[in-house]
Amino acid sequence: MGKKFIMFFLTAVLAAVLSGCTKTSEKGSMANTDTELQNGEKIINGTETPLESGDVELVVWGAEEDEALLNRIFESFQEEYKGQANFHITFAPQSESNCKDYLMADLEAGADVFAFADDQLNTLVAAGALEPIENADRIKSENLPGAVEAASVGDTLYAYPLTADNGYFLYYNKQYFTQEDIKTFDRMLQVAEENEKKITMDWSSAWYVYAFFGNTGLEVGLNDDGITNFCTWNGTEGSIKGTDVARAMLSIAQSPAFFNTVEDGFLSGVQDGSVIAGVSGVWNALAMEDAWKENYGAAKLPTYTCSNRQIQMASFSGYKLIGVNAYSEHYAWASLLAEWISSEESQQLRFEMRGQGPSNTKAASSASVQDSPAITALIDQSEFSCLQRIGGNFWDPVSAFATNMAAGNPEGKSLQEQLDTMVEGITAP
C-alpha cells in the first residue's frame, strides 16, 4: 500500500467510521494557531481572557504511564511562556476510564487539566465540569472529524481531542500464522492447537464482547436520555438470533487453544511463548514488537462462525480527550496548557513515547504513524467499528454473561434465559 494512500486512508476512514497551541513559536514547538498573547491577555478568536503573571499552580491528571511524556510536555510549555508567570505544574496519576467519578466527587478540588475517555463527556458537561472551547473552530480544523464529534455535545466542542486509537484489533506472531490463517478465528484456533499454543481475548470485559454482537444486526446503544440503554442482543427473530451468538461463543470457548484472560495474562503469555495471538489495542504495540521482533504482526479482527456463516468481528472505538476544569483558579492558563498537551507536536511525541495514535490530522499523516503495524491494523478494523456510546448499566450484565460462556456454561442454563437476563440488566433504568 502506497504511503499517499495510507495518509488519505488514515484521515478519511478513521474520521468517517468512528461517527483528542498556542501562538506561533520560532522554536517550532507550536504552530498554525489563532491564539496570541497581547499585554498579558490571551487572545482567542478575538476574545480577551486575562492571564495572571504571578504564581500559577496547575494540577494535571493523566494515566500513570504518561508521567514521563507529560513532564517533557510541561517543560516545553514552561519554556515557551518563560517569564510570563511563575508556573508550578504538578502531575497526578489518574485513570482515564473513571476520571469523571473522581472529578465529580469535588469539582472545585479536582485537577485543572485532565485526560479522560470520550464516553464520559456528556456526564461531565451536564455536571458543569466543562465549558465550551473558546477557539473551537481551529481545534476542529486540526483534528479528525470523528475526534471532533467525540469531543462535542451537539455542535459545541467541550474538550481537546488527544488520541484516535482507543479501539482493538488482532496481534499475532508471524512465526505461526500466514496472512490467510488470520482471516478466520476457526483457522487461527486450529493453528494454535496444532502448535499447543493459545489465542487470548478478555471476555470478562464487555468492551471486547461487543466484537461478537456488533455486526450481527443485533443492536445496543444509548437512549435519547443519555443515560439508559436499548438492546436487542436477546433477539429471537432475524437471520441471526441472540442464541446463535451465544452458541458461537461457546464453540470458541471449547477449543483448547482459546484462553480467556485479562491484559496481564495476554502479556505474560506472549512473553513466555505460550500465547501466539490475542485481541488488544495500540497500548501494547511496543510490548508486542519487543517480544516477537521480526515476527510481530497486527491486523483487523478475523471473522468467526455464527449461524453457519462467517461474521466479521466488530469493535468499539473511541478517543482520549483533554478537559479543562470549569472551576480552575487559573482557567486561561489551564486552557493554554490543554492546547499544548493536545497539539500536533505533543501528539507526535505521544506516539513516539507511548505508541498512541494521534487525532491531529498532521500528526496522524506523519511517516512514523503510517509505518506502524498497530495503527494500520486499527485503520483496517475501523471499517467495522462503532463509536462507544453506552450507559453505565451495560458493563456488568455483559461481563457476567460472557464469563459464563467462556466457562462453557457449566450449569447448562438456558441460553435464551441468560440473554434475557443480560438485556434486562443492560436496559435497566
What would the mean pLDDT of 276-300 be, rounded to a whole number?
95
C-alpha closest to that of 176 among 262, 276, 313: 276
Domain region containing 288: 169-316+385-426
pLDDT of residue 261: 97
Residue pLDDT, tens place only, 221-261: 999 887 899 999 999 999 999 999 999 999 999 999 999 99
Exposure of 413 by Cβ count < 10 A (0-12 exposed, 13-18 middle, 19+ buried)? exposed
Whole-prediction pTM value?
0.71
Residue pLDDT, tens place only, 382-426: 889 888 888 889 999 999 999 999 999 999 999 999 999 999 999
Confidence of residue 146 (pLDDT cuts 50, 70, 90): confident
Number of domains present in the structure of the chain: 2
Residue pLDDT, tens place only, 354-387: 888 899 999 988 998 888 999 889 878 888 988 8
Whether residues 413 and 301 fall in one domain: yes
Whether residues 225 and 235 fall in one domain: yes
C-alpha closest to that of 382 among 155, 203, 214, 189: 214
pLDDT of residue 355: 80
Whether residues 57 and 194 fall in one domain: no
| Residue 47 clears pLDDT 70, i.e. is over it | no
pLDDT of residue 376: 87
| Residue 156 clears pLDDT 60, i.e. is over it | yes
pLDDT of residue 49: 60
Residue pLDDT, tens place only, 314-358: 999 889 999 999 999 999 999 999 999 999 999 999 999 988 889
The DSSP code sequence of 223-264 is -TTSS-EEE-TT--SSSS-HHHHHHHHHHHHTSTTEEE--HH
Whether residues 293 and 240 fall in one domain: yes
Whether residues 154 and 184 fall in one domain: no
Whether residues 143 and 259 fall in one domain: no
Task: Return the CATH number at 110.
Answer: 3.40.190.10
Confidence of residue 48 (pLDDT cuts 50, 70, 90): low
